[in-house]
Amino acid sequence: MIRINDKSNLLELDPYNYSLQDVEQPNLFADIFCYDEVPKIPFNNRKVPVCMPKEIWITDTTFRDGQESRPPYTVNQIFDLYQLLHRLGGPNGIIRQTEFFVYSKKDQEALYRCMELGYQFPEVTTWIRAKKEDYQLVKDIGIKESGVLVSCSDYHIFKKLNMTRREALNHYLSVIQDMMESGLRPRCHFEDITRADFYGFVIPFVNELMKLSEQSGIPIKIRACDTLGYGVPHSGVALPRSVPGIIYGLQHHSKVPSELIEWHGHNDFYHGVANATAAWLYGASAVNCSLLGIGERTGNVPLEAMVMEYASYRGTFDGMDPTVITEIAEYYEHEIGYEIPPMTPFVGKNFNVTKAGIHADGLLKDEEIYNIFNSTKLLNRPPAVAVSNSSGLAGIAYWINQYFRLPKDKQVAKNDPLVLEMKQWVDQQYADGRETVMSDGELEEYVRSKRKQQP
C-alpha cells in the first residue's frame, strides 16, 4: 500500500511487516565480530535521511550505569549530585530524567531523598531486570517509569539467558505487561542492539510493544543500548552497527515516535559522543549519559559533552546553566575524591590551559586566539597557562595577570621587570634539572617575595 509519510510528506510504500525469526542457531554476525580480530565496519551504502526531532533532550544514568565501574556513591553524594543535575538542566528539563538502582537499602534511601525534593526535572526513574521479583521492588515506590532490561542480541538470548528468541520475547512481554497493569510506564532497554538481528528479532519485538502501547494508552519507550560501543555514526554503514539505520528502522518499520526513542551508548571505540549526536540527528529525541562519562569499562557518553552538543546544534542552552559543570567537576574531585584526567574536555584541569609560550603570547594579546570559547562566561573557568621552561615571557606575564586577577590597567607586560626576573628564575630551575611544571603555589610565593622586596 502507498501512503504519505507524515514526517517527509512523501508518498512511500507501506514497509514490510517483519515477523519474528525464531532460529535454531544464534546469529552472532561472526564475520563482523570475529573475537580474535578488531570488529569490522561493513558498508551497504543504504543511506537514511537526517531527521532531527523538534524536541531533543538528555537523560542521565549516573546513579545506575555510572556506579558500575566505581565504588558506589554515598546517599549524600547522590543527593548532592542530583541537585547539581537539576540546576544544570534548568527549568525547561533539557536533562529530563535520571535512573536509580533499587536493590539495596542505600539505593532506596537515596531515591526517596531525591524524590522528596519535588523537582519536576530530572524525573526520578528506576531500572530492573526482566524478572518478576525485580518488578515487585519498584511496584510500590511511587515512581511513574522504570527501565527494564530486554537483552536483544543472540549473544545474550542464547548464551546468557539460554532461551530461544520466542521464549525471550514472551518472557519480556509478560514482565512488561505486569508493569503496565500496575500503572508503570516501561522503558525497554534493548541491550546489545548493535549485535542484534535487527529485522529478525528487534523490529518484531518492538512491533509487539507498540501494539501494547496503542491498546493500553501507555507510552513504551525504546532505549537502544550500544552495550559494547560497537555503534558507528557514519551514513551508509550496514546493520547491526549503523546508528542511523537503527534509529531510522525503529521509526520507519515500527512507527516508534521520536519522543519514545532513546540512545544509550558506550565509548569502547571512541564513538560515544559521535554516536549520541547521530542518534539525535536521525530521529531519537533522547540520549542517555552519565556525569563525566563514568560508567562500565570505557564509560558512557559524558553528560557535559552532550550539554555542549545540544547548544551547538540548537544555538542555545535553553535554560541550562553550563557553569554548574565546573561545580560538578569540583565536587567529584574535592568531595568524592575522583581524579579527573587533566586533558578531559570542559572538566579537566588542563582543558583550557596552555603550556606553549607562543600560545600564551596569543592569549596575552586576545584570548579568542587560543581558547575554544569564552570559558570564563560559559564554565566559570578563565583560560590559564602553566609555567615551564617553554612558557616564555608571555606565558609568565599571562600567568601573573590571570592568577592575581589583575585589572587591565594594572596588568604586567612581558617586558615588565618582574616578568624578566621571574623568567630567569624559572629558567634556572630547569637548568638545575627540574622536569615538572611549576606549581601555582611556587609561582605565587616567588611573586609575593619580590613584592615584599620592593621599596
Task: Render pLDDT for 125-145 as a digit per residue (tens, 0 to 9).
Answer: 999 999 888 888 888 888 999
CA distances from 348 to 146, 334, 392 (A): 33, 13, 24
CA-CA-CA-CA torsion for 378, 382, 386, 392, nearest 10 degrees? 120
Residue 227 corresponds to which cell in the numbers above? Answer: 552495550
Please give the residue range of the domain that contains residue 402: 353-453
Does residue 18 fall inside a structural domain?
no
Give the pLDDT confidence score for residue 435 in this predicted structure.
Answer: 84
Does residue 383 fall inside a structural domain?
yes
**Mean pLDDT, rounded, of the chain:** 93
Residue 287 sits in the same domain as residue 411:
no
Residue 45: DSSP 8-state: -
Last residue of a domain, one of 282, 307, 336: 336
CB 253 within 8 A of CB 263: no
Residue 147 sits in the same domain as residue 266:
yes
Residue 225 sits in the same domain as residue 374:
no
Task: Give every CB contact of residue 269 below 8 A, 6+ residues apart in sequence.
Answer: 229, 230
Least trusted range by pLDDT, from 15-19, 98-102, 329-333: 15-19
Does residue 378 fall inside a structural domain?
yes
Q: Alpha-carbon distance 440 to 244, whole Å?
A: 47
Does residue 346 fall inside a structural domain?
no
Last residue of a domain, one of 336, 369, 401: 336
- Give mean pLDDT, residues 297-316: 98
Does residue 348 fall inside a structural domain?
no
Longest dimension (CA), the chain: 92
Beta bridge partners of 185: 145
Summarize the chain as % helix, strand, coil (round to 5): 45, 15, 45
Residue 313 sits in the same domain as residue 426:
no
Domain count of the chain?
2
433: left (phi over 0), alpha (psi -120 to 50) or beta: left
- Residue 399 Cα to chain centre, angstroms: 33
Residue 245 sits in the same domain as residue 120:
yes
> Is pLDDT above 70 for 36?
yes
Residue 63 sits in the same domain as residue 125:
yes
Give the pLDDT confidence score for residue 285 in this predicted structure.
Answer: 98
Does residue 191 fall inside a structural domain?
yes
Give the pLDDT confidence score for residue 236 in this predicted structure.
Answer: 97
Give the pLDDT confidence score for residue 364 in this predicted structure.
Answer: 66
CA distances from 134 to 105, 130, 159 (A): 14, 7, 22
Give the pLDDT confidence score for residue 358 in this predicted structure.
Answer: 57
For the stretch 150-200, pLDDT in tens is 999 999 999 999 999 999 999 999 999 999 998 899 999 999 999 999 999
Give the pLDDT confidence score for residue 357 in this predicted structure.
Answer: 56
Who wins on pLDDT, 199 or 454? Answer: 199
Give the pLDDT confidence score for residue 403 in this predicted structure.
Answer: 87
Residue 350 corresponds to which cell in the numbers above? Answer: 588542563
Cβ-based neighbour number of residue 398 at 10 Å: 30
**Burial degree of 26 (CB within 10 A; 0-12, 13-18, 19+):** middle
> Is pLDDT above 70 for 453?
no
Give the pLDDT confidence score for residue 245 in this predicted structure.
Answer: 98
CB 387 within 8 A of CB 353: no
- Give mean pLDDT, residues 103-115: 95
Residue 140 sits in the same domain as residue 233:
yes
Q: Tell me the pLDDT band of 122, cut-offs 50, 70 and 90.
A: very high
Least trusted range by pLDDT, from 13-17, 63-67, 237-241, 338-342: 13-17
Q: Alpha-carbon distance 85 to 292, whole Å?
A: 12
Give the pLDDT confidence score for residue 395 in this predicted structure.
Answer: 86
CA distances from 412 to 338, 364, 374, 392, 448 (A): 36, 10, 22, 14, 15
Residue 309 sits in the same domain as residue 357:
no
CB 260 within 8 A of CB 219: yes
Residue-wise over 328-353: b if at least 16 C-beta within 10 A, else e?
Answer: bbebbeeeeeeebeeebebbebebbb
> Is pLDDT above 70 for 86?
yes
Last residue of a domain, one of 336, 371, 400: 336
> Is pLDDT above 90 for 117?
yes
Residue 245 sits in the same domain as residue 317:
yes
Q: Tell me the pLDDT band of 359, cut-offs 50, 70 and 90.
A: low
The pLDDT > 70 percentage for the chain reads 97
> Is pLDDT above 70 for 455?
no
Residue 62 sits in the same domain as residue 201:
yes
Cβ-based neighbour number of residue 433 at 10 Å: 6
**Burial degree of 36 (CB within 10 A; 0-12, 13-18, 19+):** exposed
- Residue 67 Cα to chain centre, angstroms: 14
Give the pLDDT confidence score for residue 437 in this predicted structure.
Answer: 83
Does residue 163 fall inside a structural domain?
yes
CA-CA-CA-CA torsion for 198, 94, 215, 177, nearest 10 degrees? 70
For the stretch 369-416, pLDDT in tens is 888 899 999 999 988 887 888 878 888 988 898 888 899 889 999 899
For the stretch 415-437, pLDDT in tens is 999 999 999 999 998 899 988 88
Residue 324 sits in the same domain as residue 396:
no
Q: How many residues does the chain have?
A: 455
Rg (CA), the chain: 26
CATH number reported for the structural domain that contains residue 273 in this entry: 3.20.20.70
Task: Give every CB contact of residue 85 below 8 A, 6+ residues apart in sequence.
Answer: 60, 62, 95, 98, 122, 291
Give the pLDDT confidence score for residue 366 in this predicted structure.
Answer: 81
Give the pLDDT confidence score for residue 389 in this predicted structure.
Answer: 85
Least trusted range by pLDDT, from 37-41, 223-227, 335-339, 394-398: 394-398
Does residue 22 fall inside a structural domain?
no
Cβ-based neighbour number of residue 304 at 10 Å: 25
Residue 314 sits in the same domain as residue 380:
no
Q: Tell me the pLDDT band of 324, cut-offs 50, 70 and 90.
A: very high
